[in-house]
Structure 1
Amino acid sequence: MARPVGAVSGSTFAVLLREHRRRNGLTQAEFAAKAGVGVRTLRDLERGRSRPQRATVDLLVAALGLRGAARDEFLAAARRGESGEPDPSGINLPPAPVLIGREPELTNLATVLRHAAVVTLVGVAGVGKTSLAWAAAHRVAARHPGGVAGIVVTEVSTEADTLATVAGVFGVGRASDLPARFAGRPALLLVDAVERSAESAVTAMLWLRNNTPSLRIIATSRRPSGVAGEYVWPVMPLECPPPGLIELPEIAGYPAAELFLERLRGVGHADVAPADAATVGELVRRLAGLPLALELGAARGRILEVSEILDRYGDRVLDLRREPRDGEATTLREAIAGSYRLLEPAERAALRLLAQFHHRWSVELAEQLFADNHPQPDPGGERDVVALLDRLVELGLVSVRGTGPTRFRMLDMVRDFAVEQSEGEGELASFRDRHAVVMARYAARTAPELVGGALREAATRLDDFNSDLRSALVWAGERDPRTALYLASKLPRWWRLRGNDREGRGWLRRLLDHPDNQRADPTTRAWAGLGLAQLAAEHGDGLAELGGVEAALATFTRLGRVTGQLAARTQLCILHQANGDYEAAREHGEAVLRLATRYGRTRDVVVAENNLTWHDIRVGDLAGARRRLVTVQRLAAGVGEDRLRALAHANLAEVARLDGRYAEAVAIGRRALSQVDQLGDPRHKWRVLGCVALALAQSGRVAEARETMVEVGDPPVVELIEAYLTLAEGDRTAATERFSMAAETLAGRHDVRDVVEALVGVASSTDDPKRRRQALTELDDLCQRSAVSLLARERALLGG
């Protein structure tokens, strides 16, 4: 039958005793031994079967280490238990629990309870529905002079015994006496665990609504009750710290981490070391911010370190177990299964399918996952996906976080459970096949936006699906190589932006070489080959993929794909320049300019003009380079190409430096830094920092140069900066050695202009005639091979 809230007990003291013991992470046997009382005595006190004696209470207080307000509250509850008198406040509920991270919800619930006759808190087991309901009831108690009380529904509750229990907690003999008891005064009833006997509980609640209109009800359940006028309040897990945080105070500021750390201290665990901060963040994310999971995980802190808890339970949080209740132990798996069983068969299938998403998703992606000859949300395939998601959110199995389309997310442990169920149903492989296809299409839609003003937002959208994209690649790479190749061919620009060029290159090389992909769609293979070369060029190995780019250009030309031709020729311009075939590079650059102009492709015009700037610099036409870069900036601004505009700004700084206008180079470079920094591309940032540091060193601003040089992540450029600094400090011999080392490390890895600059430095700084002649010979040979003309400043340094 139903029972008063807290009455496994029958008294407030019983509930309070049990809660304090659990917060200390102790079993009944452990606590009894610590307090010096019998296990049976403790069990009877926690079940409300006996009244506490004064001496026993003192032992319990000492064992719990209660102080201040907590001790006073415990003693007051014990005194009420001794006398059997009711709580004079009119609140027949356990004391309000101390909640973490729920204050905004409590405030909003207090407002809702002014207007709604029935408020049902819905969520998965262990999310904290009951504690939140208790706290909310205490928060609004003053507004209910008719009394505040609560009952717990059990599996054997009937309508009659539920109503009888309600009458009892309000101090009357029968339910029919309740209208006179309230006499029109507002009262509040908490009905906990409605789902245990939903039909009986709902019928009883309907009777109360019809016969006691001044009574408001706050209920907890794993699903809505359906009572007329019901306000459904989904209870979500506590907010977890996002990945990337490493400072303990910042991580501890998130409610999930705060609760975990408090419970960890409650079991006697020493303060967490700052070095374990990131581990705490990862652990509470794996525990999904679910209060029950956090408490169960923290309870292991009596024996394990935080890192050991993560290692042992990070991949099997469903196995975390709480102590036996009513003779039965409960794992998180069993708790989640309780909510899963409330779903209709078609809803269960939908949950299993949605569990293939690793992070967040949108309504659109959910619809795609259900499309195309794959399991539909219901057998007829007609149910609205929005209604289905609403149902899953309503039950707390799916959460909605933030704004924007991709705001739906499944709790990690719910996802783990659903994946287990999918495997048991024999459908996991087909579901993962479908997920890979959806991810490939999503990448294909997003990749074209990785340019211009949309770049940052598009890259962030792909970042949000990082784990899904990786999972899809791994799975499809084994099961469906063509889908994997199609997916990988859409990601090179994103990989480059995020510094994952080696990983991306490995994927593309492996998938292009896969036997099943030799007859894949030619366009897909062409884009994959082009992407492979772009990624290889990021770490100086683009020439190895030159043949692939030429094959891609042939394919795009044969199929009349202008976008592909422009991209392939642009890459060939870059690769031939790196190979020292500067005329071929110029020819491809000019071909891009002609083609882009013919088809009105302004962005590609900008790219071509930016690439051709190097050839102006090569022949010493710095004025022409400046004019071209100004054009690039103007056109880039017109098409919203912030990235190309920032790169043009960075190139203007370099042109100013090469022209000997060092102060201007520093000023332009520093303005460019803020723009380039927003691109999220460390290589371009290092290049601009290198330009600024070189200009500072060349102008004798040694301290500033050294301060800036620290951030340059390119060792050969750092060597060149050191050479100028050593020269500025008057040590010509050491400067010569530095310039020589820079020339050696820059050769074959950097722009040939950098090597020319280093050799000019050797020849102009050395006092050894033989060393000078040797350097001049190398310089002359390099200029002839690369068709590089010395700048006026360089000729002046060499005395020519």
Structure 2
Amino acid sequence: MTQEEFAAKAGVGVRTLRDLERGRSRPQRATVELLAAALGLRGAARDEFLAAVRRGEAGESTESGVNLPPAPVLIGRESELSNLEAALRHAALVTLVGVSGVGKTSLAWAVAHRVAARHPGGVAGVVITEVSTEADTLATVASVFDVGRASDLPARLAGRPALLLVDAIERAVEPAIAALNWLQRNAPSLRVIVTGRRPTGIAGEYTWPVTPLECPPPSVVELEQVAQYPAAELFLERLRAVGNGDVQPADGRAVGELVRRLGGLPLALELGAARGRILEVGEILDRYGDRVLDLRREARDGAATTLREAIAGSYRLLEPAERAALRRLAQFHHRWSVELAEQMLADWKPGQSPGSADGTGASAGGRDVVAVLDRLVGLGLVSVRGTGATRFWMLDMVREFAVEQSELEGELATFRDRHAVVMARYAARTAPRLVGSQLREAALQLDDLNSDLRSALVWANGRDPETALYLASKLPRWWRLRGNDREGRNWLRRLLDDPETAHADPTVRAWARLGLAQLAAEHGDGLAELGELEAALVTFTEHGRVTGQLAARNQLCILHQAYGNYEAAREHGEAVLRLATRHGRTRDVVVAQNNLTWHDIRVGDLAGARRRLVTVQRLAAEVGEDRLRALAHANLAEVARLDGRYPEAVAIGRRSLPLVDQLGDPRHKSRVIGCVALALAQAGRVAEARSTMVDVGDPAVVELIEAYLALAEGDRTAAADRFAVAADALAGRHDVRDVVEALVGVASSTDDPKRRRQVLSELDDLCQRSAVSLLAREKALLDR
């Protein structure tokens, strides 16, 4: 007989019969009688069949007192096994919850086998079916513990610890809970492990959400490393099981991407790997990567289960308001925090700007957001990873399912509008902390939501350009830190030019204009946005925005200095110093003093530069501005070198290197190493200079060092040539002082009178154009 024929003849469900054949459950007494009748068993054959069921024969018991299928081999669950083993020492009821296919049953089996020695009363399991009643469940429990009736169970255990596994409680929740309550009252030495999609709610219950297996991050692409992550390990094992063990090293990236798309869900990994009978890994990714919800499992009875159906089972357990909350939260692409969830779920009307206030604190039909998240986590629809604020995340396929439901409800566009506003407000709160001691933390917080920020920007650009402009205006400093200056500039240019943003808040447009100039300056095109920068300053001044005025003037100072308008740069720097001092803005005082240091050096006032830098160090320490303190320390080394105090320059430079290294800016680090190498070369410490210059990444600075080394070795001709090469390479850069130094080197090293006159003429012209004064040491070299 087929399963369908046997089930029909016995009068039982096909699913019940399938669970029996797989060893996932033991039949109730009435079911055994029906099966025996359907098989036509009589006399001794019937008696033997009934006895075999009671004894748990047919290979179901693999160790004394354990009436369960053999323990499965688990991947990536060792930590959970240890935690659950510990939990069973204290809790009488442990419930494993999660979406279908996450591996609850396998984990429960493994735990039960692991703790079997601590339960001399026996270890057994039952599976709940859709037609289970309280009486049926209790009768089955009695049967698996080899007693005739549930009332005999207390005497059978006699106070000895025993363990019962109750699988798939969601199939008949109320009868199963009633049976568990009876067992708790009448057999207190019996501990119970339950698997289901939600907690039972029984007093004293310990709930353990079962999460998917860990997936490799996108940065891991080598197959050997990818395979070390549990999700990939399980996927590759299942591939081998279906006969596809020939995965090549070049497939590492595809394996990693596929298991991430499958969310690390064991059922999804197995369904994906099953396609390996026909397809290669890359082909599985191409065919199913964007529609993992459609992956299906065909049962022997012809029934099919898709991942969509598996998730729908948990979704249906939610109340309507909780379903709406899940659909809203599905707009997040990565991790989120309680605060972000609260804003996403708060009352909000389409059309509200990011800067306007709306309700927070309540969500999903008036329920507290914490209670909503707890409910979603309890059902395995939301997971918790890590300990930071942004620790909540949604399995990709759960997100896709929830987005599908939002589309069906006709609310997806509204929810995406809300997500864009939430992300704009998050950026507005976080971006101001991209300074001082908070810089690293704030940058990482924005990094955590990188995909959400980009998604919100793309969506709002087409739907609500004013919100997109507000969001983009908050991100320039982050874009600069992460090397995305060209991308950020393109966004700001597009949004400022959009006619729909013409009437946006003038200060928002001013911040966008300022960001445009800052980003353009990062790739040497700041002059093209000078008009936007000056317009931003006018707007900030008209509206009395001190922070904006300071930021715009600082950028004007940097921009004019970079393009040779040194007096204008100095004027803006001094204006910043006056404004910041008047308003008690210590950090801005530090920035202004640091910028004005260059102008002291330009006019040859090294003592004044040194005083400013000492002030910068002191004030930067007071406000926790580690970046500016480190740069001031490095600049002190340069001032000492320019003043001819080479040992001091080397000592200060070496002390500043660890501080600068922490900034994570290779350009500044290379500059400090170059300063140390130059001072060593100028001091005649040739061997040390050569070993140090290996780490100098700027070829022009290397040429300058080589020139000083040639001088130290007595080769004036080579030195003059090296200085000339360095002068050409340094021309047009931010710091004209470097070019002056190189030209002084050429003039003081060459023995050719004609060449010397030509270089001196070039040097005089440069000094006049840039208002740079020669240092005392440089004048002495030229007078020789």
TM-score by length of 2: 0.87
Q: CA offsets, 1:408-443, max 9 Å, x none? A: 111122112212222222211111111110111111
Greater mean deviation of Cα atoms: 214-223 or 297-306: 297-306
Partner of 1:227: 202
2:739 alignment partner, one of 741, 755, 758: 755
Give distance in 2, aligned partners of 1:85 and 1:575. Answer: 79
**Does the C-alpha gap of structure 1 residues 138 and 689 become closer, same or farther in structure 2, counting only changes over 3 Å?**
same
Q: CA offsets, 1:214-234, max 9 Å, x none? A: 322111001112233322111
2:561 is the alignment partner of 1:550: no
Deviation at 1:558, TM superposition (A): 1.2
Contact 1:346–1:377 (8 Å) recurs in 2:
no
Partner of 1:331: 306
Give distance in 2, aligned partners of 1:266 and 1:5. Answer: 27
Greater mean deviation of Cα atoms: 169-178 or 226-235: 169-178
- Aligned pairs for 1:215-254 (under 5 A) are 215-245=190-220, 252-254=227-229
Letter in 2 for 1:143: R
2:171 is the alignment partner of 1:196: yes
Deviation at 1:578, TM superposition (A): 1.4
Contact 2:335–2:390 (8 Å) recurs in 1:
yes
Partner of 1:787: 771
Contact 1:92–1:169 (8 Å) recurs in 2:
yes
Give distance in 1, aligned partners of 2:411 and 2:562. Answer: 50
Contact 1:3–1:152 (8 Å) recurs in 2:
no
Partner of 1:381: 365
Contact 2:62–2:70 (8 Å) recurs in 1:
no
- Aligned pairs for 1:585-600 (under 5 A) are 585-600=569-584
Partner of 2:357: none
2:438 is the alignment partner of 1:438: no
Report the count of equivalent residues: 737
Partner of 1:165: 140
Q: Secondary structure at the match of 1:785?
A: helix
Partner of 1:507: 491
2:632 is the alignment partner of 1:648: yes
Partner of 2:42: none
Q: Secondary structure at the match of 1:189?
A: strand
Deviation at 1:486, TM superposition (A): 0.8
Partner of 1:146: 121
2:178 is the alignment partner of 1:178: no
Partner of 2:91: 116
2:19 is the alignment partner of 1:8: yes
Contact 2:61–2:69 (8 Å) recurs in 1:
no
Q: Secondary structure at the match of 2:159?
A: coil
- Aligned pairs for 1:362-511 (under 5 A) are 362-373=337-348, 381-511=365-495
Give distance in 2, aligned partners of 1:625 and 1:213. Answer: 81
Give distance in 2, aligned partners of 1:381 and 1:81. Answer: 50
Q: Secondary structure at the match of 1:149?
A: strand
**Does the C-alpha gap of structure 1 residues 268 and 761 become closer, same or farther in structure 2, counting only changes over 3 Å?**
farther
Structure 2 unaligned residues grouped into runs of 5+: 1-11, 26-38, 40-51, 351-359
Give distance in 2, aligned partners of 1:786 and 1:709. Answer: 29
Q: Secondary structure at the match of 2:156?
A: helix
Q: CA offsets, 1:334-362, max 9 Å, x none? A: 22222112212211111110011111111
Q: Secondary structure at the match of 1:406?
A: coil
Contact 1:401–1:407 (8 Å) recurs in 2:
yes
Q: Secondary structure at the match of 2:611?
A: helix
Contact 2:60–2:70 (8 Å) recurs in 1:
no
Give distance in 2, aligned partners of 1:353 and 1:113. Answer: 37
Give distance in 2, aligned partners of 1:696 and 1:498. Answer: 33
Greater mean deviation of Cα atoms: 110-119 or 178-187: 178-187
Give distance in 1, aligned partners of 2:70 and 2:193. Answer: 16
Greater mean deviation of Cα atoms: 389-398 or 281-290: 281-290
Give distance in 2, aligned partners of 1:252 and 1:721. Answer: 48
Give distance in 2, aligned partners of 1:303 and 1:638. Answer: 66
Letter in 1 for 2:87: V
Contact 1:569–1:588 (8 Å) recurs in 2:
yes
Give distance in 2, aligned partners of 1:639 and 1:84. Answer: 72
2:586 alignment partner, one of 602, 605, 609: 602
Contact 1:347–1:378 (8 Å) recurs in 2:
no
Contact 1:377–1:388 (8 Å) recurs in 2:
no
Give distance in 1, aligned partners of 2:702 and 2:734. Answer: 13
Contact 1:6–1:94 (8 Å) recurs in 2:
no
Deviation at 1:4, TM superposition (A): 12
Deviation at 1:570, TM superposition (A): 1.1
Contact 1:603–1:639 (8 Å) recurs in 2:
yes
Greater mean deviation of Cα atoms: 118-127 or 287-296: 287-296
Give distance in 2, aligned partners of 1:156 and 1:715. Answer: 80
**Does the C-alpha gap of structure 1 residues 81 and 105 become closer, same or farther in structure 2, counting only changes over 3 Å?**
closer
Give distance in 2, aligned partners of 1:370 and 1:243. Answer: 30
Give distance in 2, aligned partners of 1:329 and 1:380. Answer: 33
Give distance in 2, aligned partners of 1:624 and 1:491. Answer: 36
Deviation at 1:302, TM superposition (A): 5.5
Give distance in 2, aligned partners of 1:379 and 1:649. Answer: 51
Contact 1:452–1:642 (8 Å) recurs in 2:
yes
Greater mean deviation of Cα atoms: 595-604 or 769-778: 769-778
Q: Secondary structure at the match of 2:206?
A: strand
Contact 1:126–1:292 (8 Å) recurs in 2:
yes
Q: Secondary structure at the match of 2:393?
A: strand
Greater mean deviation of Cα atoms: 577-586 or 277-286: 277-286
- Aligned pairs for 1:20-31 (under 5 A) are none
Deviation at 1:621, TM superposition (A): 1.5
**Does the C-alpha gap of structure 1 residues 730 and 253 become closer, same or farther in structure 2, counting only changes over 3 Å?**
farther
Identity rate of aligned residues, in percent? 81
- Aligned pairs for 1:619-630 (under 5 A) are 619-630=603-614
**Does the C-alpha gap of structure 1 residues 665 and 431 become closer, same or farther in structure 2, counting only changes over 3 Å?**
same
Give distance in 2, aligned partners of 1:301 and 1:711. Answer: 49
Give distance in 2, aligned partners of 1:658 and 1:794. Answer: 9
Structure 1 unaligned residues grouped into runs of 5+: 16-48, 50-76
Q: CA offsets, 1:157-198, max 9 Å, x none? A: 333333333233222333343333333332211111111222
Give distance in 2, aligned partners of 1:710 and 1:314. Answer: 47
RMSD after superposition:
3.2
**Does the C-alpha gap of structure 1 residues 344 and 85 become closer, same or farther in structure 2, counting only changes over 3 Å?**
closer
2:82 is the alignment partner of 1:107: yes
Q: CA offsets, 1:355-411, max 9 Å, x none? A: 111111111111111223359999983111110000000011111122232221111
Letter in 2 for 1:419: V
Give distance in 2, aligned partners of 1:712 and 1:591. Answer: 36
Q: Secondary structure at the match of 1:506?
A: helix
Q: CA offsets, 1:751-793, max 9 Å, x none? A: 1112222323333444544333322222111101001012233
Give distance in 2, aligned partners of 1:203 and 1:462. Answer: 49
Greater mean deviation of Cα atoms: 218-227 or 435-444: 218-227
Letter in 2 for 1:131: S
**Does the C-alpha gap of structure 1 residues 693 and 487 become closer, same or farther in structure 2, counting only changes over 3 Å?**
farther
Greater mean deviation of Cα atoms: 208-217 or 133-142: 208-217
TM-score by length of 1: 0.85
Greater mean deviation of Cα atoms: 238-247 or 550-559: 238-247
Letter in 2 for 1:557: T
Deviation at 1:446, TM superposition (A): 1.2
Give distance in 1, aligned partners of 2:329 and 2:751. Answer: 73
Q: Secondary structure at the match of 2:94?
A: strand
**Does the C-alpha gap of structure 1 residues 464 and 11 become closer, same or farther in structure 2, counting only changes over 3 Å?**
closer
Greater mean deviation of Cα atoms: 519-528 or 176-185: 176-185
Contact 1:3–1:165 (8 Å) recurs in 2:
no
**Does the C-alpha gap of structure 1 residues 685 and 517 become closer, same or farther in structure 2, counting only changes over 3 Å?**
farther
Partner of 1:529: 513
**Does the C-alpha gap of structure 1 residues 159 and 299 become closer, same or farther in structure 2, counting only changes over 3 Å?**
same
